[in-house]
Structure 1
Amino acid sequence: MTTVQSIAKNSLFLLSGQIISIVFGFFYFIYMARYLGAEDLGILSFALSFTIIIGLLGDLGLSSLMTREVSRNQSLAPKYLGNVLFIKVFLAIVTFGVVVIVINVLDYSEHTIKIVYIITVSNLLANFTQIFNSIFQAFERLEYLSLGIILNSALMLIGISFAVEQNFDLIYFAFVYLAVNAIVLVYSLFTCLIKFAVPNLKIDWTFWKQTILESMPFWLNSVFVIIYFKIDMVMLSTMDGDTVVGWYAASYRLIDALGFIPAVLMSTMYPVFSKFHISSKDSLEFAFRKSFKILTITAIPIGIGTTLLAERIIVLIYGVEYTPSVIALQILIWASVLSFINYTPATYLTSTDKQRMLMVFTSLGATFNIILNFILIPLFSYNGAAIATVSTELIVGILMFHKIHRIQNLFALLSDVILKSLVAGAVMGIFILIFKDYTLILLIIFSAILYFIALYFVNGFEKEDINLFNQVLGR
């Protein structure tokens, strides 16, 4: 199997899992949002965001480092598994203790605190699952990762549906998250033990020190990224209340759902980039350029289409109660577009041992985001938080591309791909405006077809793109 076919196979497995997950997630989140209402959804969204931020203490970047190092030398899998498991047990205890202290200092209601405790344990279990997912990714066997994703979403759909049908209150919805993550952890553990490697449970203190020091840039990068994507929920909760968080979360959920597209491709490309960095600089540059092109030409029509159809999308999915979410969605969708574009350079930097540079960029982004939120939330509420998110993605993207441009000449690539995508997107946008009152699903389908036809006519596809497609098909 060629490298291109291997990438395509892994991408297909992960894409299939993510699509199924998105479909299931689409239904259970809508079902839950309509049942809970904006206020309870706001409480749950706050708990999820708060525990994700504090929960970063439970990983320290170890999972990303495992993926990179084991992909380069698979014989290291047992050693990494055993030592990282021990480290994460210690980190889980510390994390829960920090959550208890911080949430009580913030003086939330007893009900909210209970929700936070349950979601914290749920996220800690997910942290352990990530250890085994890193092994699946490093071995480039993403079908097992995909099955875990499908299992998670299917169980969530069942659990949420049962809770709604039984008229349970919010705390039971939190327990659904906990139960599902426990089951997925068991699946991932046994799959890893049977198919890949058994952890070497001998503690190596020297290895601990070396691994933690090396993983810290990965961790700090994740901290800063999570801060500028999740801190707005926490700040909105303290400054504007739970209902506003619920409106904002409704839009944000749709943006999160779109994130599976770049995540699928770059999860596949991360170990490939890491190996090419050692074996072939030319192959690495080629893979970078094609990954960037695929994500950019995918992102721009999503941004244009969502901006024009936001009101219809929100009302269709959530109902008129969530109409205040429309403007937030129109703003946040461009954070998603920039995230698509930024995914490739971020993966490039981590896979080529430049994670410290990425950490600097994301730290600047996190600082910028917090400052903007303090300024814009009092002025524009949740729409201000959305503006801060878009602005942060733009700043971090500029910093990353400026750095990589010193290694590769990217300006020609950037201008060519983005310009042609915008021209094709403008054609699609005019079509949407003319036929905006037609059936939404059909309008989206025909708009997407028109976009790619227009992209073809402006020479958005090169001969080597066609050749790659043929390789994927085995021709």
Structure 2
Amino acid sequence: MSTESADRVATPTPDPHVVTPEPTNPGSAQGAASDGRAAAKATGAMLASRVVIAALGWTGSVIIARILSPEAWGHYTFVFALLGLMAIFTDLGVGRAVMARLIVDDPDEVARTASAFIALRLLLGLGGYAIALIYVVALGYPGEVIRATAVAGLVVVVATPGHALTVVFQSRHRLLLSAMAESLGQTVQLALTIAAALFAPYLLLFVLAPVVNEVLALVIKAVGISRRDGGLRPSRHVEFARWRPMLLDAAPLAIGFALTVALQKVDMLLLSILDTFDAVGVYGIGYKFSDILDTFVLAAAGPVATLLVAAWPHEPGVFRRRCRGAAAAFGAGGAVAVAAFWPSAPQVIGLLYGERFVVGAFAARMLVLGATFTALIVLGIYLLASAGQARSYPLVAFGGLVLNVVMNVILIPRMSYDGAAIATVATLGSVLVVLWIVIVRTLPIVGLFPLGSVMTLAAVTALACAVGTPAARIIPWPVVSVSTALVVALVALPLVRASARAPGRHAKVHGVTS
């Protein structure tokens, strides 16, 4: 039986939550959102952009880490960790109400939804900026940190509506302009970073460069969407009444994302309180590596989310196949990254950032592993949101946040940044398991998570790391890293293909798997 035939096997008794597939007009907005080839091209564009952004951003961080003093680097790391935490207040996620109304065939509805969404995101960005400033002032952080937050915090104000424009483009899988804008912005940021390093190596100038990056990217996206045909141009009139349904529909997802961001970033805030800024700087190096994986995941998750929204609920087989394929691909990407980095982490950190940061190699390894868990968590969140079932996730994320805070408070005084890393990875692993249990029990489709493939990848990756770590002390580390990554990739490729095919029936009938 072919894959397409298996996807559309009828169940003996129609499930009330699984609607019989209806044909999709390829020329419609819904058809554009369901276009797998367009999604693949959009994903490719965003991933290529993320490669450029990651390389340029990494280069900039190496320059800054080597030039600033340990304390000043700790200040820099803390400020951007705090601003990342502001996503609690600024990121609605891709709410089902927003995405669902962006893929309709009424250009006027799309325009009004887009303008309301962009305006709301701008207001949330301003709120996030204010909260970040109030936090550092109220807790009595050093004046250098307060000034850096005041300047760097403008990133939140600009990037928040910029992301809203990306969501609008994403609704039709037209992400090439966004990818180009963000790559160009990162290029300018690196140029400004190099200029500051050569002529005026001050913290405030280093934190100004990302602001210029976001402003440039926003301008390019705004000009592009204002000239874009095809029903994507936002209305000049903002209907504030649309905010209420957006907020109500997105509230569970927004709260869940906010709590997820908090449980990922609260370790940095607690480390700054329970330890020193020098420790924050060492720990921040680990996040430089894990953030690369996070960046790729978020780039790929956008088009995947659009496909899932378009497939639910009319095409449960397609929904299942795309979910399994994405989960296997995300797991494989994370496994390859862990296999490449784990054996040679001390050597890579020493080469790029200097010997004083090598002490944080264990924490960096753990954070890269945690980023693999985060990839599957993000997919699970989008999965629940696309099916309109995100209400259960905030409770899972809240439990994870509480666990993370408790573990950090216990472990940081005893193990510093290593304790923070252990707490964060243990929390992410727990949230991952609980989240997918919730998905299995909530959605009327079976086999959404390719457990066998993921467990096989985990076992192969653990073995590769166990062999590669001592080997990297004897054999040149680039050879070891390439070899371990290649071994895992060769195992992962057929597993991803097999998971995406997912033959067989796909729906639950009266509580029984069919």
For the criterion TM > 0.5, the same-fold answer is yes
Candidates 228, 234, 238, aligned match of 1:199: 234
| Distance verdict in 2 for CA 1:95–1:287, change over 3 Å | closer
Structure 2 partner of 1:123? 156
Candidates 385, 389, 397, aligned match of 1:350: 385
1:300 Cα deviation after fit: 2.2
- How many angstroms apart in 2 are the aligned matches of 1:266 and 1:58? 19
Structure 2 partner of 1:172? 205
Structure 1 partner of 2:116? 83
1:233 aligns with 2:268: yes
Candidates 433, 436, 454, aligned match of 1:417: 454
Deviates more, 1:200-209 or 1:318-327: 200-209
- How many angstroms apart in 2 are the aligned matches of 1:288 and 1:319? 41
Instruction: Give SS of 1:323's match.
Output: helix
CA contact (8 A) 1:349 1:355 kept: yes
The CA deviation string for residues 346-385 of structure 1, in whole angstroms up to 9 with x for no partner, is: 2211211122222222122122212222222122111111
CA contact (8 A) 1:49 1:230 kept: yes
Instruction: Give SS of 1:168's match.
Output: coil
Q: How does 1:24-423 map to 2 (within 5 A)?
A: 24-54=56-86, 56-61=88-93, 66-72=98-104, 75=107, 76-195=109-228, 197-406=232-441, 407=443, 408-410=445-447, 413-423=450-460
TM-score, length-normalised on structure 1?
0.90
The CA deviation string for residues 259-314 of structure 1, in whole angstroms up to 9 with x for no partner, is: 13322322221100000013301100011111111122232243244222211121
- How many angstroms apart in 2 are the aligned matches of 1:74 and 1:266? 26
| Distance verdict in 2 for CA 1:405–1:464, change over 3 Å | closer
| Distance verdict in 2 for CA 1:3–1:429, change over 3 Å | farther
Q: State the AA in 2 paired with 1:448.
A: A
| Distance verdict in 2 for CA 1:356–1:62, change over 3 Å | same
1:21 Cα deviation after fit: 1.0
1:425 Cα deviation after fit: 5.5
1:415 Cα deviation after fit: 2.8
1:325 Cα deviation after fit: 1.1
- How many angstroms apart in 2 are the aligned matches of 1:291 and 1:426? 24
1:106 Cα deviation after fit: 0.6
The CA deviation string for residues 24-45 of structure 1, in whole angstroms up to 9 with x for no partner, is: 1121111111111332121011
- How many angstroms apart in 1 are the aligned matches of 2:354 and 2:477? 15
Structure 2 partner of 1:471? none
| Distance verdict in 2 for CA 1:77–1:337, change over 3 Å | same
Higher helix share: 1
- How many angstroms apart in 2 are the aligned matches of 1:15 and 1:310? 24
CA contact (8 A) 1:62 1:84 kept: no
Instruction: Give SS of 1:195's match.
Output: coil
CA contact (8 A) 2:96 2:309 kept: no
- How many angstroms apart in 2 are the aligned matches of 1:333 and 1:60? 26
| Distance verdict in 2 for CA 1:436–1:367, change over 3 Å | same
- How many residues are matched? 466
The CA deviation string for residues 35-58 of structure 1, in whole angstroms up to 9 with x for no partner, is: 113321210111112233245434
Structure 1 partner of 2:18? none
- How many angstroms apart in 2 are the aligned matches of 1:5 and 1:55? 31
Q: State the AA in 1 paired with 2:189.
A: M
- How many angstroms apart in 1 are the aligned matches of 2:94 and 2:380? 21
Instruction: Give SS of 1:279's match.
Output: coil
What RMSD, in angstroms, separates the aligned Cα atoms of the two structures?
2.7
- How many angstroms apart in 1 are the aligned matches of 2:225 and 2:152? 25
- How many angstroms apart in 1 are the aligned matches of 2:121 and 2:448? 42
Stretches of structure 2 lacking an aligned partner (at least 5 in a row): 1-25, 27-33, 503-514
1:157 Cα deviation after fit: 1.0
1:108 Cα deviation after fit: 1.4
- How many angstroms apart in 1 are the aligned matches of 2:85 and 2:60? 24
- How many angstroms apart in 1 are the aligned matches of 2:305 and 2:448? 23
Instruction: Give SS of 2:312's match.
Output: helix
Stretches of structure 1 lacking an aligned partner (at least 5 in a row): 468-475
Instruction: Give SS of 1:353's match.
Output: coil
| Distance verdict in 2 for CA 1:134–1:449, change over 3 Å | same
Q: State the AA in 2 paired with 1:324.
A: V
1:111 Cα deviation after fit: 1.8
